[in-house]
Amino acid sequence: MALSTEEVARLAGLARITVSAEELATIAPQLDIVLDAVASVSEVANADVTPMTHALPLTNVFRDDVVRPGLTREQALAMAPAVEEDRFRVPRILGEEA
Amino acid sequence: MAELMDYDEVLARFDPTLGLEVHVELNTATKMFCACDNSPGGEPNTKVCPVCLGLPGSLPVVNGRAVESAIRIGLALGCSIAPWSRFARKNYFYPDMTKDFQTSQYDEPICFDGHVDLLVDGQTYGIEIERVHMEEDAGKLTHAGASGRIQDADYSLVDYNRAGTPLMEIVTKPIGGLGAHTPDVGRAYLAHLRDLMVALGVSDARMEAGNLRCDVNISLAPKGATELGKRTETKNVNSLRAVEDALRYEIRRQGALLSAGGSVTQETRHWNEQGWTSPGRSKEQAEDYRYFPEPDLVPVAPSAAWIEELRATLPEPPAQRRARLQTQWGFTDLEMRDVVGTSGSLDLIDATVGAGASASSARKWWLGELARRANETDAELADLPITPAQVARVQALVDAGTLTDKLARSVFEGVLAGEGDPDAVVASRGLAVVSDDGALGEAVDAVIAAQPDVADKIRAGKVQAAGALIGAVMKAMRGQADAARVRELILERLA
Amino acid sequence: MTDVIRLTAAELGRKIAARELTAVAVTQAFLDQIARNDDAVHAFLYVDAEGALAQAAAVDARLDAGETMGPLAGVPLALKDLFTQAGLPTTAGSRMLQGWRPPYSATVTQRLIDAGIVILGKTNLDEFAMGSSTENSAFGPTHNPWDLARIPGGSGGGSSASLAAFEAPLAMGTDTGGSIRQPASVTGTVGVKPTYGGTSRFGVIAMASSLDQPGPCARTVLDAALLHEVIAGHDPLDSTSIDAPVPPVVEAARSGDVSGMKIGVVTELGGEGYAPGVEQRFGEALDLLRAAGAEIVEVSCPHFSYALGAYYLIMPSEVSSNLARYDGMRYGLRAGDDGSRGTEEVMALTREEGFGAEVKRRIILGTYALSSGYYDAYYGSAQKVRRLIADDFDAAFAQVDVLVSPSTPTTAFRIGERIDDPLAMYKSDLCTIPSNMAGNASGSFPAGLAPEDGLPVGFQVMAPPLADDRVYRVGAALERAVAERDGGVLTDQIAARWVPQAQEA
């Protein structure tokens, strides 16, 4: 399975990572090698095998609906790159109509 | 604004198919996956913790109460409850979402395959429910800039208080065959959900506050066609009226497009309060959400016993309850419409009847004097500082002859002013009707003495003239006399 | 005080409790050792001397007042920089989080503090725990105290190196595919990955949620068991935490009795690709255990050969989602925000600048494995293989009490040797991955030095879920037999190199 640089660029876009042309040229063949190595999984993954998503068969882990103190506003905003009017300031949002 | 076609003309040529996705914010004490305060509002970023802020290392834990609510909603909508369901991550980047994925449910929703019957203008319509699933709300964005609109903002500000509020998404299957009634049925469905959420006590269900948010899907197909047409999904349709208007608008817009030989673009559209829809993101560029089972949460596997326990807590379905109460109370359709039309009055009347009052008297007070008081202060009936039990007590005093209707209004005034319960107000304001013969007799004698000509007429057999004397006695007694006894005493003396 | 740093954690705890040593003096001795040696080793990213001494003084005050504390009260520890500790820098080895100080502490961190364990600082790791060498740390590699030109393992190389260089008697690690056991193996130390759900993940920066598990690192089996007991147990803040009693690990470590135990050697974890010295020491370890009364049999786990492939689909998938939150909006690095760019572009530039090459590779690989059209072939198939591996374990544990293998196919490789060959790097975790996939308990214990290069070889013990005590029992038996053969635990052999000769002892 060969992964084209265009495909890797599309995936990087989905993953919100800017990737330079040189990086693409390095990453695409590296991913190819890994994908070749992992392709063996489909050899044994028959339809009658139940997928396993959790290491342990726990179910119904719930919390009581009781309020507990969280962070102060100062704590919440302390590490923010930009703050204004007690809110997180983020760059303008493009490509979306309100 | 787009080209629109005459509504009836569209329906003569096309069959609309409707689909509704409704998001309900639960009113649990805490958020969906953390123990933060879930009450609405508050200073920005004061109801947050490492979990709902998505800080590195934080982990979600499911609010058991929210699961209960989801199951109760599902049962009330006639759904099957999945014996085993999972949460899934919906991956996409957006600054109002702290983890850049939404914890939701994907192919294993907790409730599925439901059914509700709606009564609209005497006709019953069946609505099939596809699924009810659990997810979390996002933070609130404010757009900085002259217009406050996202398109021309210089930057945006985020408050994460709402991030993590439990959301239930209720999705219908495609509903066809409604023809010209499509907008009315859409509206009635949303009204039904609103009433149901309130009856279940799971959400405040205030549309104006965003507790209930509706996305409207609509498509048109030429009459008789077997395939559905391309649909649009209109977002932010957040009032009953708007659902009806948006549907009517989209039907007319799509009708115009198709009739002119054009085609409908499958897309997301936005509802503008001015009464039209505008295009949003086109569906061709739909995101790849890369759903996968949430590894930080374990499956939800409600036992049959737990489901039955929750079923037993369900309120009577609103329509059924209204019909039952109307029969029980003997109200006419017109009277019942007034009750249903006055927010909160059905529950209050029911409780007042439960406290011993007759249905007609309960209705009289709540829709009369008390509704008037509520209107004056722009309050909800239910927010008035008076209980159904107190209203029932006032009526009991009227029935016992201790109060006249006029005195009762004074008692209500006192209770609403915080002067205590009805008996205390009667005592402190000295409002009880006087039926003591001694006190009444004196007043009667004085009035007879003061109006001898009227007294003579009565003696001569003109009993109807007694009214003038009764009125004078009542006036002298400042309205607190038992009018029937006064009449008896007058006639006795002038026999 | 230099003789103090050679003591085991158990001995230090005993002497501190008996007031023969003060926690402050012990802490100062390790801080001095870090100051002396860490320029060469680079185990620590941050040393919290002030905080550690204050914590030690508080323990001394409580003990002086007659309070009874746990067996590790006053004993220092090196904390992998993946655990949050309120107010201290927590980087996960990434530029993305440089300068971030979390407002809360991990459950494990809190339990350490509550037990009176003194946290010396935060140790180096591969960025977001992705790697087998610490070369992927944004802050430079850690060096193996046995040979500074070699890797200390990864991702928890800072923790393992701190132990081998006697900079700490205890350390904390996390294990997603071998990040505790492989570093332990190549540094001649002990590392245990508890049963999944046995220790809390709350406050541990996530790599792959369904595989990650915090666990103890130490130079001796008993020390690891004592630490295990402090950190393990149910945590309501982690939905995947097991609500069951902690297995009797300390008792098992003290006993080390393997007579009558049935030990299964996994056929698939050996042979081609395994260094001769590794195979030799592994074989000798089996002989030592047989001599101690265990029965050794061979067991086949046919699907283990697919474990690496399934792991490199499941892990990156979870990584791609877990690391999405590092977008420069709420904390950490923000790049390219010049006022004209939109959020989408600023997020992408932030992630370009903040993440290293390996992290990007895994995020993109995971994005691919989960994307529509590929999910079933990749993620879905991998989850099925995961089930088959768990089934192999179940079948094997029906026949034997524990399974064993080398911990990693080779001894420590040279820094730079595998950095441009991801697949060769990934194969370091060939033996350790199956236990992460199935969620069972697993540990690495020193088996001696490979004759060809004089570097440590690790012996892996795998036990059924919630039978973590069996891992310690076998580990303790091996430790005892090796010590008898070699005249001490393995790290004693490099103590002379790192611990200055006692001046006043």
ipTM rounded to 2 decimals: 0.96
* Interface contact flag, C367 B290, Cβ < 8 Å: yes
Interval C159-175 mean pLDDT: 98
In chain A, what residues touch B46 (CB-CB under 8 Å)? 72-73
Q: Does B101 touch chain C (CB under 8 A)?
A: yes
Q: What is the pLDDT of residue C503?
A: 46
As to burial, measured by CB atoms within 10 angstroms (0-12 exposed, 13-18 middle, 19+ buried), residue C86 is middle
Q: Which of A63, A72, A76 sits opposite B63 (nearest CB)?
A: A63
How far, in whole angstroms, is CA B488 from its chain's centroid?
A: 51
Q: Are C115 and C230 in contact (CB under 8 A)?
A: yes
Q: Does B285 touch chain C (CB under 8 A)?
A: no
Going by C-alpha positions, the residue among C149, C132, C85 that lies closest to residue C112 is C85
User: In the numeric block, which tokens belong to residue B375?
Assistant: 């209107």
On average, the pLDDT of chain C sits at 96
Q: What is the DSSP letter of C304?
A: G
Residues β-bridged to residue C172: C79, C216
Interval C42-48 mean pLDDT: 98
User: In the numeric block, which tokens belong to residue B137?
Assistant: 């709300």
Residue B411 has phi, psi (to 5 degrees) of -65, -45
* Interface contact flag, B37 A67, Cβ < 8 Å: yes
Is the confidence at residue A97, as pLDDT, over 50? Answer: no
Q: What is the pLDDT of residue C104?
A: 98
Global pTM value: 0.87
Tell me the per-residue pLDDT of B158-168, one tens digit each, with 9 for 90 and over: 999 999 999 99
Report the gap between the CA of A15 and the closest CA in chain C (Å). 7
Interval A39-51 mean pLDDT: 89
Q: Give the C-alpha distances (Å, rounded to integers) separating C206 from A81, B439, C187, C361.
A: 22, 87, 25, 17
User: In the numeric block, which tokens belong to residue B403?
Assistant: 């109060």
Going by C-alpha positions, the residue among C457, C460, C412 that lies closest to residue C434 is C460
% chain C with pLDDT above 90: 95
C193 is catalytic: no
C179 is catalytic: yes
Please state which of the ranges A27-41, B332-346, C132-146, C175-189 shows the lowest mean pLDDT: B332-346
% chain B with pLDDT above 70: 98
In chain A, what residues touch C306 (CB-CB under 8 Å)? 40-41, 43-44
Q: Confidence band (pLDDT; 50, 70, 90) for C505? A: very low
Report the gap between the CA of C400 and the closest CA in chain B (Å). 30
Neighbours of B385 (CB within 10 A): 10
Q: What is the pLDDT of residue B484?
A: 81
Q: Confidence band (pLDDT; 50, 70, 90) for C305? A: very high
Q: What is the pLDDT of residue C504?
A: 41
Q: Confidence band (pLDDT; 50, 70, 90) for C1? A: low
Which is it for strands A83-84 and A87-91: parallel, antiparallel or unpaired?
Answer: antiparallel
* Interface contact flag, C321 B55, Cβ < 8 Å: no
Is the confidence at residue A98, as pLDDT, over 60? Answer: no
Tell me the per-residue pLDDT of C46-104, one tens digit each, with 9 for 90 and over: 999 999 999 999 999 999 999 999 999 999 999 999 999 999 999 999 999 999 999 99
* Interface contact flag, B47 A14, Cβ < 8 Å: no
Q: Which of C202, C238, C330 sits opposite B53 (nearest CB)?
A: C330
Instruction: For chain C, list the domains and their CATH numbers.
Output: 2-258+443-498 (3.90.1300.10)
Q: Does A10 touch chain B (CB under 8 A)?
A: no
Q: Is the sign of the CA dihedral C237, C239, C245, C248 positive or negative?
A: negative
Q: What is the pLDDT of residue C502?
A: 53
C239 is catalytic: no
Contacts for C332 with CB less than 8 Å, ≥ 6 apart: A79, A81, C96, C97, C98, C99, C100, C326, C354
Of the residues B101, B290, B300, the best mutation for testing chain C's interface (the one with the most C CB atoms within 10 Å of its CB) is B290
Instruction: For chain B, list the domains and their CATH numbers.
Output: 7-307 (no CATH), 316-429 (no CATH), 437-493 (1.10.10)
Q: What is the pLDDT of residue B282?
A: 56
Of the residues B69, B98, B156, B238, the best mutation for testing chain A's interface (the one with the most A CB atoms within 10 Å of its CB) is B156
Q: What is the pLDDT of residue B1?
A: 64
Q: Which of B100, B158, B296 sits opposite C239 (nearest CB)?
A: B296
Which residues between 47 and 76 in chain A have a beta carbon less than 8 angstroms from any beta carbon of chain B? 53-54, 58-68, 70-73, 76
Cα atoms in the 13 Å half-sphere on the side-chain side of C420 = 3
As to burial, measured by CB atoms within 10 angstroms (0-12 exposed, 13-18 middle, 19+ buried), residue C345 is middle
Low-confidence spans in chain B with pLDDT less than 70: 1, 146, 148, 151, 281-286
Q: Are C261 and C397 in contact (CB under 8 A)?
A: no
Contacts for C146 with CB less than 8 Å, ≥ 6 apart: C164, C186, C187, C188, C412, C454, C455, C456, C494
Report the gap between the CA of C468 and the closest CA in chain A (Å). 15
